[in-house]
Structure 1
Amino acid sequence: MSRTVDATEASIDHPTGSLEDCDLKQVADAFDTNGIGIECDIETEKKAVHQVRTGETLFETLETDARAQGALIYDTPKGKLKITNKPEGRQSGALVRGVNIINASGTLSGRFNYSEVKVRGQASFGTKATVLSPEAEAKGTASRKRSLIIYHEGEVTSGRMKKRAGWEAKRAAGEGKKARIRTPGCRDQGGSLYKPNFLIPVQDEWGGLDQDMIIASVTFEQDGEGGTVTSLELKDPRALGGENPRGKSAKGWAAPAVPIPTFREDL
């Protein structure tokens, strides 16, 4: 088991539990009191103060802020916590029906299709409407009225709210498009292990799928003959912060791109 389990099971043991003028990486480094190790390849907006709740785990104290900043948290093969907001890379080769796909299944759902995603919150200082009742909005992919309203945890700014709205709309656009594929072996065509948050092309004409997908999870299994079979849970890249793949998939897999979010300043 990866030692990042300590980030979800063990409490932060910090002298003060408080940090001022800090971005997400600084928060992660300061409160990694169990020595897990942090990898962060993004810059995030600083906050005036970050306060840890008594008994809180490292993941719990980071996760709320990560959602507000449109960031992912997951573990690396070396057992560290990774913080990013985009696919980490690309696997070599492709998953192709009749070549290296043992079996495959897919799910297309409209559960996460929204016409717009609105983010609302409140700032601590000031009396203007943009402080007391600010709102950012990103258009979604649904053709009929289906609104999603999200409360923005923590201090709000125009930049943080727009980023959150865009992130949630993009994730919603991709979340309903999933595939599960079993492939022989544990490595791609370049010899690298399959890894989460990496893109890989999928060509499965039976399932109408011909586009980049992102690996959401990987399971390695030993078959009865001593070989390895890999089960990959794949999603539309937007579900993990990527861009619209715009492949040649059947119409059911397609969805329009999410436009740039707006921030209401005329309240």
Structure 2
Amino acid sequence: MAEDLYLLIDGVRHAGLFSIEWEVDANNALFKVTAGVTERAANASVSEVPFPPLTPRGAEAQLLAKGEEEDELLVTGWVRRTYGDVGKPAMRRFLYIESKACDVVESAADGRKHGYRLKQKKIGEHAKTLYRPFKVPVTIEADSRTMDIAWQPGQRAFSVIEERARKAGLSQTGSGDGGVVFYKGVRGRHAGEFITGGEDANCETLQYEDSEIGQFSETHYYGQRYKPSSGKDQTDGYATVENEAVRRHRIDIQRMEHDFDQADMRERAEWDGRRAAGGDAGNGTQVVIGTPDWRDPDGKLWMPAYARHVLAPDVAIDQLMAIKTGRFTWSKDAQIARLTMVDPRTIGGKDPKGKSGKAWNVPTKKAKYEELE
């Protein structure tokens, strides 16, 4: 059954909505929406054209789906830009909307009150402190251990937190209230399964990619450990993790942005290797599933980092897969969801122990650590 969607602009229902393109991403804190609308031209009177006036950029936007008992909030954000062609007396145009978290992504973290340093809290609590002035909600499904953080004037609020989240092996995605969700691994499981081909098919394979671009046989992380007792950086550390799926010699060396210990270095090296295998930056091994349904049989919307079993013999998949990205397309006549699926291990999940082909293997080795004098 098609979704019954509606759009609120500054709390008022928009009467001219005709299409929606909604994007979610397991590795991106922003939900993004492009809404097609019809609006009244500036010189048209209300009596001539029964459409709302032009939407100003910066307006608050909320996308909702009508429910049997209560409506569901899908996206809360700001209208970042408007564009389209003028057709008098009405305008057919598009509103580009991003989650409210866009403000912490683009704005600097004002550290004057804190001396550009926050002490002895987990990363989720640090995020709440830095994001609070922007009224961006923070949901903590997984968190780091207690840590101190410091940053330079001018550094973006989101980047201050995101660097430390990577250090802890955490990922961030968006939420319907416009905020950010911290999680690690698979967030939950969708009911049922996707089946392509045969009489039992309930979806189709839209695209398959098996790429080595951006993958390395070894991922190295190098950094210096800060020892408070000495007051200086005095130990160099090196973490190395191998990717057995890459058959020739290819090395990636990264420098740790902040002070570390052994657990930090190993976690970060393994995290980067897994993400590359799952198509971070658009590469790796992944499959795009197309389905007219936006929800599983239990009524839950497809959400990033949630898993569902996929049986797709045409691309040798028979295992639990995680949703890396989702693109939901809607009009009053039709709808479709395009879901990019990856092995759960690429987002920090557990081995699904399925029956898929070798192309779906991901790095499984643990990182090695050594200190360099």
Q: TM-score scaled by structure 1?
A: 0.88
Contact 1:246 1:254 in 2 (8 A): no
Q: Which residue type is aligned with residue 3 of structure 1?
A: K
* Alignment map for 1:43-192 (pairs within 5 Å): 43-48=143-148, 50-98=149-197, 99-125=201-227, 131-141=234-244, 142-175=246-279, 176-192=284-300
Q: Which residue type is aligned with residue 243 of structure 2?
A: G
- Alignment partner, residue 211 of structure 1: 319
Cα 1:68–1:194 change in 2 (3 A) is: same
Identity over aligned residues, as a percent? 24
Q: From the two aligned structures, give the one with the greater strand fraction.
A: 2
Contact 1:102 1:184 in 2 (8 A): no
Instruction: Tell me the C-alpha RMSD between the 2 structures.
Output: 2.3
SS in 1 for 2:260: coil
Distance 1:20 1:209 in 2: 46
Distance 2:333 2:152 in 1: 48
Q: Is 1:23 the counterpart of 2:125 in the alignment?
A: no
Distance 1:112 1:55 in 2: 30
SS in 1 for 2:274: helix
- Alignment partner, residue 339 of structure 2: 232
Distance 1:232 1:170 in 2: 19
Identify the structure with bigger relative contact order (alpha carbons < 8 Å, sequence gap 6+): 1
Q: Deviating runs (4+, > 6 A) in structure 1?
A: none
SS in 1 for 2:192: coil
Q: Is 1:11 the counterpart of 2:108 in the alignment?
A: yes
Cα 1:236–1:120 change in 2 (3 A) is: same
- Alignment partner, residue 49 of structure 2: none
Q: Is 1:41 the counterpart of 2:141 in the alignment?
A: yes
Q: TM-score scaled by structure 2?
A: 0.64
- Alignment partner, residue 366 of structure 2: 260
User: Larger radius of gyration, structure 1 or 2?
Assistant: 2
Q: Which runs of 5+ in 2 are unaligned?
A: 1-76, 78-98
Distance 1:82 1:167 in 2: 18
Contact 2:239 2:370 in 1 (8 A): yes
Deviations 1:170-211 (A, max 9, x none): 223333111112101211122211111111111111222222
- Alignment partner, residue 355 of structure 2: 248
Contact 2:144 2:165 in 1 (8 A): no
Contact 2:195 2:311 in 1 (8 A): yes
Q: Which moves more between the two structures, 190-199 or 136-145?
A: 136-145
